[in-house]
Structure 1
Amino acid sequence: TGRCYMTSQNHGYAIDISKLPDDFEELFINANDKTNEGIIHRSLPYFSVQFHPEHNAGPEDLEYLFDVFLDVIRNNHAIPLKQMLAEKLKLLNVAPSLPSIPKKILIIGSGGLSIGQAGEFDYSGSQAIKALKEENIQTVLINPNIATVQTSKGLADKVYFLPLVPEYVEQVIRAERPGGVLLTFGGQTGLNCGVELELSGVFQKYNVTILGTPIQAIIDTEDRKVFTERINAIGEKVAPSIAITSVAEALEAAEKLGYPVMARAAFSLGGLGSGFASNKEELKNLATQALAHSNQLIIDKS
């Protein structure tokens, strides 16, 4: 067929094709040294190979040969074996469509940093820009913080010093029309912004592909209740917890779980509003602060 396959080789000899009986012909050839790797009978259901088509530790490109063999034995097909193999090859060798690489990518930047706060997202964003430039991809950065490495002159192709909120990001998307967007280099702020833009249909409206972590995975991990459900679905254990949206619900949940409890805010920056509570008064204060930053709170049994 002219197609190439990867297999695990393990033989110390090769058949001399020039001395094959007339009823046999060559089936596979080693692309490196042109030696024989398999023969097939012209009319009878006989064929053999000199490699491991099923090799568990390596390529499994030709594992289907076992299916062909069993099919011939069980059903005694009248179709010539070589024709069966050729038809199987056609079915299994449809070239996968490669995703097109965007020519321009929007990066949600690291945003503002407090004194003493770590700048890991500034660093990772800078590395992302460098990597994209090496691939000759145009980079557009949104970052309101002028005191970052990634906003340095000459790094990104274009920088917008705008707040990391959906309204401004949509304006940049409308003006620049990027083919893709990277959300994971903007920390919690970038993730929250990306989720809002996805839910409002902005990315779909402007045909922007979300690169890296899928948006649904971000939503599932940021929403504490959904994350717990996903973990339970695969049989992993998690601490008993209840999702709440008000202080009264938090107190009720703690009574069911029993003190001490841990409160965790969803979609919060660096765990803002999260903490431990040993009694009603501590939980009331903690829940009041947490719900000021997030619309959902998870009460876990500590």
Structure 2
Amino acid sequence: YLEAKEAAQHIGFPLVIRPSFTMGGYGGGFVHKKEEFDEAVKRGLEASPTHEVLVEQAVIGWKEYELELLRDANNNIAVICTIENFDPMGIHTGESITVAPAMTLSDTCFQEMRDIAFDMMRNLGTFAGGCNVQFSVNPENENIIAIEINPRVSRSSALASKATGYPIANIAAKLALGYYLDELKNPVTKTTSAFFEPSIDYTIVKIPRWDFKKFKGADTTLGLQMKSVGEVMSIGRSFQEALQKACQSLEINRLGLGSDGYELKNLEQIIHSLENPSWDRVFHIRDAMALGVPITSIQKITKIDRWFLEQIYELVKMDKEIKKFTIDNIDPVILRLAKEKGFADAQIAHLLGGGVTDMDVYDKRTSLGIHRVYKMVDTCSAEFTSPTNYFYSTFDGENESQPSDKKKVIVIGSGPNRIGQGIEFDYSCVHGIKAAQELGYEAIMINCNPETVSTDFNTADKLYFEPVFWEHLWDIIQLEKPEGVIVQLGGQTALKLSERMRDHGIKIIGTSFENMDLAEDRGSFSTLLKELGIPYPKFGVAENAYEAIEVAHKVGYPVLVRPSYVLGGQGMKIVINDEDLQKAVIDLLGDLPGNKVLIDHFLDRAEETESDSICDGEDVLIVGMMEHIEPAGIHSGDSSAVLPPFSLSENVINKMEEYTKKIARAMDVRGLLNIQFAVKEEEVYVIEANPRASRTVPFICKAHKVPYVNIATKVMLGDMKLKD
């Protein structure tokens, strides 16, 4: 502690305290004044496993960059990717919007940074493999400070690999084994050497995904410690296009960067958001500009480079330009420019007003010859021929994605990781792709998550790194003309798009939309259970607080309140009186307008169990039955589960089997089905059924060493029955 105090006196405030040997900024923080110092040092020392902290000058507001490099045992080094942080120093890189290649870096500064990185790596002894170096640059005079070096692959390595198409971890592993860079081939082009620095003719933007809604009362301010739970990456011809596509990828009900009716209009709130960065600051920068706040003022508050702010301002100007027209008289030049800047058809429809829909805009632009084209990600800006099948969309130039005449199937990915929908669904998507390939289909993947195996360029036969967003999906389907689309592997993300697909005549592979919707629609599902003679907790559906109280009196407290059509228990509450119920319903309908609220009688102190099964329309195979250790009331994704069950009676297990088979056949399930039960006094109640891949499927596959997702996909495609 005394050493820290000495360092602080010498450096002066503001300071940064960084504990040694921690990840994600854990235990670190800023110290702006003397009074905060003791507490920050104490926290840092406790967080560090070696009881050691760094006390550093805080370069708040400087620009932040990182280099992803590879080094071999011969001291050859290659810079694979230069990444620039949109947010200045003071926000952890994992929390920052990042852009590649660097946009505001002068060549002299880049060369100096590169030399420093090479020196740092060569002075770390002999190591071979991946390396990540982070720098801070003073925007006034381009002075460079090295922040840290990680002689390993880092969080950014996956992003850099997907951004450039260069498989960093693959090559790093070979370098660690003793190969030299100049001996290895570039796995993408398959002809050129791996000892080269990728050049890219597009822009990528990464935006982290947060889930603060799940943590009421959490501090949502971004700083030195990571709070995000996932991320999305988008690729465009310009920063503006990539930024809008990234906003569409986040799945937070935004159609892009604004222009969608969710803008903030309260100047006081906007300024507060600019001063205290949180997950939505980038949207509020745009909102501030729309209200007339000058770029200089925004730059002064946020310390974000002016170039980025000017790019966002151009989107605001385009927004105002589109509003001058109607769908009938819109200038084709303006429409094309809007599409090049990443505006979604739905955003343009919103701006044109007058009840125009996104499909009206789609029809208008296609009639004017404004079509989306697909470009290849090949590590070398098309300098060498490359057989890669990794594409992104834009509105510039020729189309490089040539559809084959094979029978094809599209698998929709699960988008960004978040609480309730994580990597489990990516596991299912990857196994689904493999199964389709085994049956001779060309398997096409659509996803926007750089952290996943499904977005590796060699997983699917064709990868479209695009937002899982209706417009992008529709354009790919128009181009590829697949046999159908698999939606039951990608969690709620893919399911939410299935209704529109059905309405547009796209074949949904496996369980039909009507039957999937039956499971989501509580009323119809309970009617089905009643017909089948299967017990379920008493329930009711309400559209306002008054109806909710009526239902609660009918079913009896305690009640479970939840919205329909959500995953991961979002918005669920257990309430025991009218007052709490009223508040819960008003909150829910405020967050999800137009949604129905389900009110179930909560089976207090019941045990929770679940079954996963595969059905081919006739036969049902139960792949796993699990018993939860925690009682009902703790979300199944947060509960410890045991496979096979350890204390259920034979009677209960038989009932679970019987109900699973009855429901699977009655719903005409083709593929996977997960059912959750509550068991109380030997009575088995069905809580819910989900005809899709569940969170527990990977767990059962690993436990039983059987690729059930592969089997389920073959059943969905209709090429095989369970007995085959």
CA deviation after TM superposition for structure 1 residue 110, in Å: 1.4
CA 1:266 to 1:142, structure 2 compared with 1: closer, same or farther past 3 Å? same
Q: Deviations over 1:15-52 (max 9, x none)?
A: xxxxxxxxxxxxxxxxxxxxxxxxxxxxxxxxxxxxxx
How far, CA to CA, are the matches of 2:582 and 2:422 in structure 1? 30
How far, CA to CA, are the matches of 1:184 and 1:259 in structure 2? 34
Higher mean C-alpha deviation, range 238-247 or range 124-133 = 238-247
Q: Deviations over 1:224-279 (max 9, x none)?
A: 11111111111112111111122332223213323211113211122211221111
* 2:561 pairs with one of 237, 252, 263: 263
Q: Which residue of 1 aligns with 2:526?
A: 228
CA 1:127 to 1:235, structure 2 compared with 1: closer, same or farther past 3 Å? same
Gaps of 5+ in 2: 1-405, 603-724
TM-score, normalization by structure 2: 0.26
How far, CA to CA, are the matches of 1:264 and 1:137 in structure 2? 40
Higher mean C-alpha deviation, range 268-277 or range 244-253 = 244-253
**8 Å CA contact retained: 1:111, 1:144:** yes
* 1:214 pairs with one of 503, 507, 512: 512
Q: Which residue of 2 aligns with 1:157?
A: 461
How far, CA to CA, are the matches of 1:289 and 1:184 in structure 2? 30
CA deviation after TM superposition for structure 1 residue 295, in Å: 0.8
CA 1:117 to 1:224, structure 2 compared with 1: closer, same or farther past 3 Å? closer
Identity within the alignment, %: 36
* SS in structure 2 at match of 1:127: helix
Q: Deviations over 1:197-244 (max 9, x none)?
A: 22xx21x1xxx3221222221010011111111111111121111111
Alignment of 1:266-285 (within 5 A): 266-285=564-583
How far, CA to CA, are the matches of 2:528 and 2:494 in structure 1? 23
CA 1:289 to 1:112, structure 2 compared with 1: closer, same or farther past 3 Å? farther
* 1:181 pairs with one of 485, 500, 522: 485
Paired amino acid for 1:245: E
CA 1:194 to 1:285, structure 2 compared with 1: closer, same or farther past 3 Å? same
* SS in structure 2 at match of 1:168: helix
Instruction: State yes or no: 1:196 paired with 2:500.
Output: yes
Q: Deviations over 1:112-140 (max 9, x none)?
A: 10379641100010111111122221112
CA 1:128 to 1:244, structure 2 compared with 1: closer, same or farther past 3 Å? same
CA 1:246 to 1:160, structure 2 compared with 1: closer, same or farther past 3 Å? farther
How far, CA to CA, are the matches of 2:512 and 2:585 in structure 1? 30
Q: Which residue of 2 aligns with 1:104?
A: 408
CA deviation after TM superposition for structure 1 residue 156, in Å: 1.1
CA deviation after TM superposition for structure 1 residue 174, in Å: 1.3
Higher mean C-alpha deviation, range 103-112 or range 240-249 = 240-249
How far, CA to CA, are the matches of 2:512 and 2:414 in structure 1? 19
Higher RCO (Cα < 8 Å, 6 or more apart):
1
CA 1:233 to 1:259, structure 2 compared with 1: closer, same or farther past 3 Å? same
Paired amino acid for 1:226: S
CA 1:117 to 1:266, structure 2 compared with 1: closer, same or farther past 3 Å? closer
Paired amino acid for 1:164: V
How far, CA to CA, are the matches of 1:119 and 1:288 in structure 2? 33
Paired amino acid for 1:247: A
How far, CA to CA, are the matches of 1:180 and 1:125 in structure 2? 15
* 1:300 pairs with one of 600, 606, 613: 600
**8 Å CA contact retained: 2:564, 2:598:** yes
Alignment of 1:18-29 (within 5 A): none
* SS in structure 2 at match of 1:111: coil
Instruction: State yes or no: 1:131 paired with 2:435.
Output: yes
Higher mean C-alpha deviation, range 161-170 or range 231-240 = 161-170
Paired amino acid for 2:533: G
* 1:238 pairs with one of 533, 536, 540: 536
**8 Å CA contact retained: 1:241, 1:298:** yes
**8 Å CA contact retained: 1:225, 1:298:** no
**8 Å CA contact retained: 1:272, 1:290:** no
CA 1:236 to 1:116, structure 2 compared with 1: closer, same or farther past 3 Å? closer
Q: Which residue of 2 aligns with 1:286?
A: 584
CA 1:251 to 1:191, structure 2 compared with 1: closer, same or farther past 3 Å? same
CA 1:174 to 1:124, structure 2 compared with 1: closer, same or farther past 3 Å? same
Count of residue correspondences:
195
How far, CA to CA, are the matches of 2:551 and 2:420 in structure 1? 36
Alignment of 1:75-154 (within 5 A): 103-114=407-418, 118-154=422-458
Gaps of 5+ in 1: 1-101
Q: Which residue of 1 aligns with 2:547?
A: 249
CA deviation after TM superposition for structure 1 residue 155, in Å: 0.8
How far, CA to CA, are the matches of 2:489 and 2:415 in structure 1? 10
Which has more radius of gyration?
Answer: 1
Paired amino acid for 1:301: H
